[in-house]
């Protein structure tokens, strides 16, 4: 089903939308429900041009006459029995009627009863015309279709609402003929049979005078009036309603030329009502007496007045068009597009004045070319986009300037657009924090760790006295490591390589001592196993070293447990890194069988030396670190280890076998 709100906003012309709004506002001010009905709904749904607007109100439509006239509507006629008003509202034909039901005690003589909107739809001629669109608050755009007219529109079928429709109201015979000529639709089988029966029974003779005049006037309101007139003649209906009016009385060439001019106006967005001009040409060869009789039958006397005033309106417009104040192309364009389109159409068709014809020729062909010169690219470059307020007015003003020969260069165009260009938007604000270089972070961390690792001058003096305390602390640290192993997730340590010097003594397994600091964050990534040696410097970190193997039988782990490695007093130890740095070369130490393990060497302060890579890697740590340091994930710059002392001092272990 189509979206009728969308159709109302896009399928109606601007003047039709304005007329619909004005009528709706007036009716709603009276507290009356109003609906768009009849041919307007049919044409909106099927895509045919909407020729007029029919409104049905649930109340007395005659009470709306004065208020509609105050809103700008011109009363063209009225029919009191059916409470119907005919208006001309700013270029749109409007019909406002009361919702009613009809009873036919005799053919062609209806009796009206006021009823709700659904009853009004059920009394209509064909299902295609028995639909309505609500224009009320809360239901705007709602389709009312009690007889499933949408299905007949899809099948392009005209179906009678009542099986006695052609007999009760013979004007429906004329209406069916006009609709078939306009749309090329067909009657369904039953309706077609009833149509033929009514035609044979000469039911047309029962048509009422009001409906006869209404149908005669509707011929002139058709888009192709000549086609409708010929269709009525072929069916034999014209001899019953007006024998004097035939297609032979029409100006055929004039009608063809009129439609050609109309097409040019439609291209430029002007939609004149063709009815009065067509009627003038359809009756061009009728005798004046018969023509006058025809006009008297029309229910809309205002339409007759418009028809008769065509020539006078065209003369008035010609004076305005040739005035000096409208000599400029833009001024002439504004006049043509704002004047009454019916008078403009009639002047363009009938005028023989060369100046007038030149103006219309330029209007149709020359002046519209200025639209192609509108600098859309430049406007986009200057941030002038359609979403800006006043964009349409600016484009129209550029069009007029180009039409008058102004703004011929890019500099002039840019200068004209500069006041309308909005300021450049501010640069986007980034909410992300800027990241410093990783190298800077590494250097900072390394410097901090070096400062922490620097021993105080008095540390060496207290080393000997702290051996016993170190042994106890090593035992407690080992126990804590065992407990932490059950909690911490194991992390694989990268293999560290050391170069061991061969010694004549028996081989002894030495354990790499891990630096233990008071801070838990400075543990190495791979922790030493429980049986390994853990040496501890009081204020600083101890470097991990590995003893040289001896030729004698392996010593017990318990013997090496209390071996303490003392760092050089003035040298800085290497901070723990993600990948363990190779330890420096050490002088070979003689290991005596069945004697405690040799303690680490205590060297004098020396200059830093470059560590050479070791050929074979050391064994992986048996147990992972219990508490990985937060700095372990960072890659630190490797610093060379201090040189060992020339004369190492061996300190025997406290425990003996």
Please state the three-class secondary structure of 554-581 as a single string: CCCHHHHHCCCCCCCCCCCCCCCCCCCC
pLDDT band at 392 (very low <50, low <70, confident <90, very high): very high
| DSSP β-ladder status, 186-187 and 157-158 | parallel
Q: Is 168 helix (H, G, I), strand (E, B) or coil?
A: helix
pLDDT exceeds 70 at position 206: yes
pLDDT > 60? residue 553: no
User: Which pLDDT value is given to residue 400?
Assistant: 95
pLDDT at 594: 46
Among the listed ranges 267-271, 337-341, 641-645, which one has the minimum average pLDDT value?
Answer: 641-645
What's residue 610's pLDDT?
A: 45
Predicted confidence (pLDDT) at residue 163 exceeds the cutoff of 50: yes
Task: Give the residue-averaged pLDDT of 35-64.
Answer: 95
pLDDT over threshold 60, residue 409: yes
User: If you search the block for the tokens 């064994």, which residue do you land on?
Assistant: 619
Q: Is 577 within 8 Å of 526 (Cβ atoms)?
A: no
- What is the DSSP code string of 90-151? TTEEEEEEE-EEEEEEETTEEEEEE--HHHHHHTSSBGGG--EEE-STTSTT-EE-TT-HHH
Does residue 104 register a pLDDT over 80? yes
Task: State the pLDDT at residue 539.
Answer: 40
Q: How confident is the model at residue 48 (pLDDT cuts 50, 70, 90)?
A: very high
**Distance from C-alpha of 257 to C-alpha of 263, rounded to nearest angstrom:** 10
pLDDT band at 3 (very low <50, low <70, confident <90, very high): confident
Q: Which of 72-86, 269-283, 509-523, 611-625 has the lowest mean pLDDT?
A: 509-523
- Longest CA–CA span in the chain (Å) reads 151
Give, for 629, the enclosing helix (H) or strand (E). Answer: none
Tokens of 588: 């070979």
Rounded mean pLDDT of 624-629? 45
For range 287-303, the mean pLDDT: 95
Query: Which pLDDT value is given to residue 430?
Result: 77
Q: What is the pLDDT of residues 314-353, one digit of tens each?
A: 999 999 999 999 999 999 999 999 999 999 999 999 999 9
Task: Specify whether the CB–CB gap between 79 and 293 falls below 8 A.
Answer: no
Over residues 614-628, the mean pLDDT reads 43
Rounded distance between C-alpha atoms, residue 249 and residue 251, angstroms:
7
DSSP-assigned letters across all residues of 639-650: -PPBPPPSS---
Rounded mean pLDDT of 419-447?
71
pLDDT for res 86: 97
370-402 b/e with 16+ CB inside 10 Å = b? Answer: beeebbeeebeebebeeeeeeeeebeeebbbbb
Q: What is the pLDDT of residue 432?
A: 73
- Residue 616: predicted pLDDT: 45
Residue range 373-382: mean pLDDT, rounded: 93
Q: With 70 as the cut, is the pLDDT of residue 559 above it?
A: no
Higher-scoring residue by pLDDT: 178, 456: 178
Q: What is the pLDDT of residues 577-612, one digit of tens each?
A: 444 444 444 444 444 444 444 444 444 444 444 444
pLDDT tops 80 at residue 517: no
What tokens were used for 641? 């280890």
- Which strand (E) or helix (H) includes residue 532? none
Name the packing angle between helices 275-282 and 252-267 (round to 10°).
170
Q: According to the model, what pLDDT value does residue 372 have?
A: 92
Q: Which of 426, 425, 409, 429 is nearest to 417 (CA)?
A: 409
Burial 483-517 (b: 16+ CB within 10 A, else e): ebbeebeeeebeebebbbeebebbbbbbbbbbbbb
> What pTM does this model have?
0.65
Q: What is the pLDDT of residue 607?
A: 47
pLDDT band per the 50, 70, 90 thresholds, residue 428: confident
Structure tokens at 476: 């407690």
User: What average pLDDT does range 127-135 have in this prediction?
Assistant: 96
**Could you tell me the pLDDT band of residue 509, with boundaries at 50, 70 and 90?**
very low
The helix (run of H) or strand (run of E) holding residue 415 is helix 410-417
Q: Is the distance from CB of 165 to CB of 192 less than 8 angstroms?
A: no
Is 45:2 a contact under the CB 8 Å cutoff?
yes
Ranges of beta strands (E only) in 132-242 are 132-134, 143-144, 157-158, 186-187
Span 211-264, pLDDT tens digits? 999 999 999 999 999 999 999 999 999 999 999 999 999 999 999 999 999 999
- Rounded to a whole number of angstroms, the CA Rg of the chain reads 53
pLDDT computed for residue 45 by the predictor: 94
Highest mean pLDDT among 165-179, 462-476, 615-629: 165-179
What is the reported pLDDT for 2?
A: 64
The whole-number pLDDT of residue 447 equals 54
Mean pLDDT of the chain: 77
pLDDT: is 518 or 135 the higher one? 135
Which pLDDT band, with edges at 50, 70 and 90, does 431 fall under?
confident
Q: CB atoms < 10 A from the CB of 585, how many?
A: 17
CA gap 273, 51 in Å, rounded: 8
Most trustworthy range by pLDDT among 411-425, 430-444, 503-517: 411-425
Place of tokens 């407690």: 476
- Using DSSP, state whether 203 is helix, strand or coil: helix
Query: Residue written as tokens 């429900």?
Result: 33
């Amino acid at each position: 089903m189509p979206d009728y709100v969308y159709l109302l906003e896009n399928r109606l012309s601007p003047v039709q939308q304005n007329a619909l709004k004005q009528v709706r506002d007036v009716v709603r001010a009276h507290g009356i429900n109003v609906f768009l009905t009849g041919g307007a709904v049919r044409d909106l749904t099927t895509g045919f041009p909407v020729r007029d607007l029919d409104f049905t109100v649930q109340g007395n439509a005659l009470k709306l006459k004065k208020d509609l006239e105050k809103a700008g509507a011109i009363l063209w006629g009225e029919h009191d029995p059916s409470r119907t008003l005919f208006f001309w509202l700013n270029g749109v034909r409007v019909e406002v009627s009361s919702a009613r039901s009809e009873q036919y005690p005799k053919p062609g003589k209806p009796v009206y009863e006021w009823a709700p909107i659904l009853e009004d739809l059920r009394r209509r001629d064909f299902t295609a015309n028995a639909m309505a669109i609500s224009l009320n608050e809360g239901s705007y755009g709602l389709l009312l279709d009690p007889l499933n007219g949408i299905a007949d529109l899809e099948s392009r079928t005209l179906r009678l609402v009542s099986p006695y429709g052609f007999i009760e109201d013979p004007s429906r015979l004329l209406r069916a003929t006009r609709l078939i000529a306009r749309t090329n639709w067909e009657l369904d089988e039953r309706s077609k049979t009833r149509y033929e029966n009514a035609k044979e029974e000469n039911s047309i003779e029962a048509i009422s005078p009001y409906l006869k005049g209404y149908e005669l006037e509707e011929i002139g309101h058709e888009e192709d009036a000549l086609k409708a007139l010929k269709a009525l003649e072929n069916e034999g209906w014209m001899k019953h309603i007006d024998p004097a009016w035939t297609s032979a009385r029409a100006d055929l060439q004039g009608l063809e030329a009129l439609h050609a001019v109309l097409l040019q106006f439609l291209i430029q967005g002007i939609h004149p009502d063709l009815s009065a001009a067509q009627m003038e040409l359809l009756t061009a060869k009728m005798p004046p007496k018969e023509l006058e009789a025809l006009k008297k039958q029309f229910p809309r006397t205002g339409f007759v007045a418009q028809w008769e005033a065509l020539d006078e309106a065209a003369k008035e417009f010609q004076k305005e068009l040739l005035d000096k104040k409208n000599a400029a192309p833009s001024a002439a364009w504004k006049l043509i597009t704002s004047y009454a389109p019916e008078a403009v159409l009639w002047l363009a068709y009938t005028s023989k004045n060369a100046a007038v014809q030149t103006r219309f020729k330029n209007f149709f062909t020359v002046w519209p070319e200025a639209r192609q010169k509108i600098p859309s690219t430049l406007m986009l470059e200057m941030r002038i986009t359609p979403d800006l307020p006043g964009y349409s007015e600016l484009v129209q003003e550029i069009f007029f300037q180009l039409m008058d020969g102004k703004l011929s260069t890019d500099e002039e165009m840019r200068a004209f657009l500069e006041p309308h260009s909005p300021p450049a938007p501010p640069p986007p604000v980034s909410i992300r924090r800027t990241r410093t270089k990783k190298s800077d972070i590494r250097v900072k961390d390394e410097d901090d760790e070096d400062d922490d690792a620097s021993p105080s001058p008095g540390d060496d003096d207290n080393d000997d006295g702290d051996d016993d305390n170190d042994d106890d602390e090593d035992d407690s640290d080992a126990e804590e490591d065992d407990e932490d192993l059950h909690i911490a997730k194991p992390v694989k340590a990268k293999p560290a390589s050391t170069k061991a010097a061969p010694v004549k003594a028996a081989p002894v397994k030495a354990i790499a001592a891990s630096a233990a600091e008071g801070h838990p964050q400075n543990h190495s990534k791979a922790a030493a196993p429980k049986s390994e040696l853990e040496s501890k410097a009081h204020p600083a970190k101890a470097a991990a070293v590995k003893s040289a193997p001896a030729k004698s039988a392996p010593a017990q782990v318990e013997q090496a447990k209390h071996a303490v490695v003392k760092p050089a007093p003035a040298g800085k130890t290497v901070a723990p890194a993600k990948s363990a740095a190779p330890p420096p070369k050490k002088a070979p130490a003689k290991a005596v069988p069945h004697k405690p393990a040799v303690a680490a060497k205590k060297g004098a302060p020396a200059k830093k030396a470059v560590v050479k890579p070791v050929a074979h890697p050391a064994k992986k740590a048996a147990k992972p670190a219990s508490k990985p340091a937060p700095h372990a994930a960072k890659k630190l710059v490797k610093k060379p280890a201090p040189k060992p002392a020339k004369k190492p001092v061996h300190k025997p272990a406290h425990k003996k076998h």
